[in-house]
Structure 1
């Protein structure tokens, strides 16, 4: 190229860069956000658009259905250095899942939020439940102490029931059964009216979840602590009673056919189709029903599992969806700002009202009136089973789950199940 031509080229290039550079600088930064919330897909995308307008930061929302699938995908992405800037995980206190989170942290995939989350911001949450997404000083995982996520919502587990089907069976929908005796009688009335009484995904963790409710209800805190923390295992005769609850329900014709091997979506589907009257599920089940049969939502009530013992009924619960920031992300500061915006009371209130999920923020719970079954779930947030027991171990919990299934299928008695659980517990203690 001749000297004159080269000069003209450089001038043209300078002009092109001068014109386009301001545009490039003005282009919004982009955060990548992975989540698994199929029923909240549209709301998450709307939040992203609103945040871009408010802060000038674009959020690329990517959906990966299935909370377990996205957990595996996140682990692989963190190890490969390809994780998103911000993502959802679960707030489970399960030791296996806590150990997985420790691996993520060590690989640089979860940001310690202690220096970012102010006292006012942190005080919106129940301190004891933040423990599920925190690591304490001297933790056995060798992880730096701190808070590694913030909840987007909270959950608890109760019995959802169809008020219209209750009426058809001659039951008062405004006075659901409070005791096991009343519950069994109500289920017999439902069955007599040609209505399947009860469904639950007992092929999964739902079985041991409900069993633990009755273990606390029958044994009380003293009995639970004595059995699990002091090494007495299931030697107390009352432990047999905790499994007899499932025998009594079976013999009263409570269960839908097949529940012993069902996944949770199987049970939710039957309830959403109005083919059974009662469902054991979490507060998220209302959102599932809304997505498949919105007309049923106003007809749903929520009730505590009916008492079978002399102690207070406690329920399963905690934080559900948790937001975490990738510590290795060059955009982590912007990701934290988005996290703060998304968990602010205004967004939390809208999230609760539009998705039928319970807010994680105590400030929102006090300010926003939640209607219907959502409000009934929220009212019982103070009944969550306290996290004060040592882990029984996976082998023991698996044996309890299988035992409940075998009782439902009339394969074993409660006494036999307790004996097998004790053997698994003893074997686990010798490892």
Structure 2
């Protein structure tokens, strides 16, 4: 039988060998674990947020900002451009198929059309996220109003802000400085008589005075402004809720404003046949002296007529004793899909997008008024953007009651007839009252 060695030196060598083997195995295990961890890290999916929008004129700018955000955070923003009129239908279909994006541009303000999605949690109540109060303090109050469901709203949506305002807008009058100089006009009009006088000077210089898209919605926007400017608030409210009437001296006085403008030669020839794109083309091509348009027109002109620069902006002329308010409010909006697994990351991106630095860049490149009120107040980029931004303090305040749809339709059609010289303010006011009584457009 073989004997075991009792040589001490051999025992020491064997022990050292065993220790070496153990260290080798331990180091190998650690090395293997590190490789595995690195592999797991390399394979970890990157956060990607899908963002549907319809901002054709700002697509390149949004992509630039998305790339910047990815460079700063590692979060990819996948932008998908959807035609504006198709976005509501696309969103509805995606909601039914449970294939919604993480973020979407809003196609309307907080109201009836978005309420079902808010009730289902498909639009996130942003007032519930961390830091919401501080975040929304950055925006103009008029912008927040348009994205908020108030307490006791008629759709039973939990109160709060459900969309983020990206920019604001309002409507004023733009004028061609070259044509004003050509007509010898040195002072901008502030009341109706001065406005008519300026228009006559333009006509004397063989220049069409004023245009807007009067074949469509802009006529109603201009009319709503002068309703508030001419008709006292108590008379308006009474007519709206049915306790008053439309065939009164106050309402006839409002309609007479448009008769005076027409008889004074203010309106460009054929104005009733122009929609807003056609009117903007006339103005940008130097064929008309003034246009009633929105702040978004600055971006339109920059994109379609980049050489057209010498124009300015002024407030519409006041007519009555009431305060002159202008149409406007929140412009482009964005919301977070509440059912998205990336809702927190989406909120973080929107906070970044609406922060001061990004809003400055947005305003510079898009010619839109930033919703961030600090940026709007400090804006020194373009006198026309600043002029529109100043109009944020003069927007039409919210009202608990409004003109009935049938009356709006009747009034707009009647104004077109008055401008054409084929009807009278008294006759139109009478039809507005009949529309109120029958709930049918006359």
TM (norm. structure 1) is 0.87
Match of 1:114 among 105, 127, 135: 127
Match of 1:263 among 268, 275, 279: 275
Match of 1:70 among 87, 90, 100: 87
Stretch moving more, 250-259 or 194-203: 250-259
Partners of 2:439 and 2:154 lie apart in 1 by: 19
Partners of 1:296 and 1:366 lie apart in 2 by: 26
**1:322 aligns to 2:333 (yes or no):** yes
RMSD: 2.3
**1:151 aligns to 2:165 (yes or no):** yes
Stretch moving more, 259-268 or 338-347: 259-268
- In the alignment, what sits opposite 1:137? 151
Superposed CA offset, 1:395-417 (max 9, x none): 22222222222222333222222
- Cα–Cα, structure 1 residues 203 and 107, in superposed 2: closer, same or farther, change >3 Å? farther
Superposed CA offset, 1:99-135 (max 9, x none): 1011222344311111215222111123454232211
2:112 aligns to what SS in structure 1? helix
Match of 1:249 among 261, 275, 297: 261
Partners of 2:325 and 2:416 lie apart in 1 by: 22
Superposed CA offset, 1:64-100 (max 9, x none): 244x44344334433443332111125647xxxx210
- Cα–Cα, structure 1 residues 124 and 207, in superposed 2: closer, same or farther, change >3 Å? same
Partners of 2:51 and 2:269 lie apart in 1 by: 40
- In the alignment, what sits opposite 2:217? 205
Structure 1 unmatched runs, 5+ = 1-16
Counting only pairs closer than 5 Å after superposition, residues 25-36 of structure 1 correspond to structure 2 as: 25=44, 27-36=45-54
2:320 aligns to what SS in structure 1? coil
- Cα–Cα, structure 1 residues 30 and 75, in superposed 2: closer, same or farther, change >3 Å? same
- Cα–Cα, structure 1 residues 77 and 189, in superposed 2: closer, same or farther, change >3 Å? farther
Counting only pairs closer than 5 Å after superposition, residues 13-28 of structure 1 correspond to structure 2 as: 22-25=41-44, 27-28=45-46
- In the alignment, what sits opposite 1:101? 114
**1:391 aligns to 2:405 (yes or no):** no
Match of 1:51 among 59, 69, 74: 69
Partners of 2:413 and 2:312 lie apart in 1 by: 30
Partners of 1:193 and 1:293 lie apart in 2 by: 24
Partners of 1:365 and 1:238 lie apart in 2 by: 37
- Cα–Cα, structure 1 residues 81 and 193, in superposed 2: closer, same or farther, change >3 Å? farther
Task: Work out whether residues 170 and 326 of structure 2, in 8 Å CA contact, stay in contact via their aligned partners in 1.
Answer: yes
2:380 aligns to what SS in structure 1? coil
Partners of 2:122 and 2:268 lie apart in 1 by: 43
Deviation of 1:221 after TM superposition, in Å, equals 3.3
- In the alignment, what sits opposite 2:20? none
- In the alignment, what sits opposite 2:3? none
Superposed CA offset, 1:173-197 (max 9, x none): xx21111111111112212222221
Task: Work out whether residues 180 and 307 of structure 1, in 8 Å CA contact, stay in contact via their aligned partners in 2.
Answer: yes
- Cα–Cα, structure 1 residues 201 and 136, in superposed 2: closer, same or farther, change >3 Å? same
2:127 aligns to what SS in structure 1? coil
Task: Work out whether residues 49 and 342 of structure 2, in 8 Å CA contact, stay in contact via their aligned partners in 1.
Answer: yes
**1:419 aligns to 2:403 (yes or no):** no
2:402 aligns to what SS in structure 1? coil
Task: Work out whether residues 284 and 305 of structure 2, in 8 Å CA contact, stay in contact via their aligned partners in 1.
Answer: yes
Partners of 2:109 and 2:200 lie apart in 1 by: 35
Partners of 1:427 and 1:120 lie apart in 2 by: 48
Which ranges of 4 or more aligned residues in structure 1 deviate by more than 6 Å? 17-20
- In the alignment, what sits opposite 2:192? 180
Superposed CA offset, 1:283-317 (max 9, x none): 111111111112223x1211111112122211111
Partners of 1:391 and 1:176 lie apart in 2 by: 32
2:146 aligns to what SS in structure 1? helix
- Cα–Cα, structure 1 residues 378 and 19, in superposed 2: closer, same or farther, change >3 Å? closer
Partners of 1:138 and 1:312 lie apart in 2 by: 29
Task: Work out whether residues 170 and 388 of structure 2, in 8 Å CA contact, stay in contact via their aligned partners in 1.
Answer: yes
- In the alignment, what sits opposite 2:363? 352
Partners of 2:178 and 2:118 lie apart in 1 by: 49
Match of 2:287 among 263, 275, 281: 275
Partners of 2:87 and 2:212 lie apart in 1 by: 24
Superposed CA offset, 1:226-271 (max 9, x none): 4335631324312112122222222223223333243222212221
Which entry has the higher C-alpha Rg, 1 or 2? Answer: 2
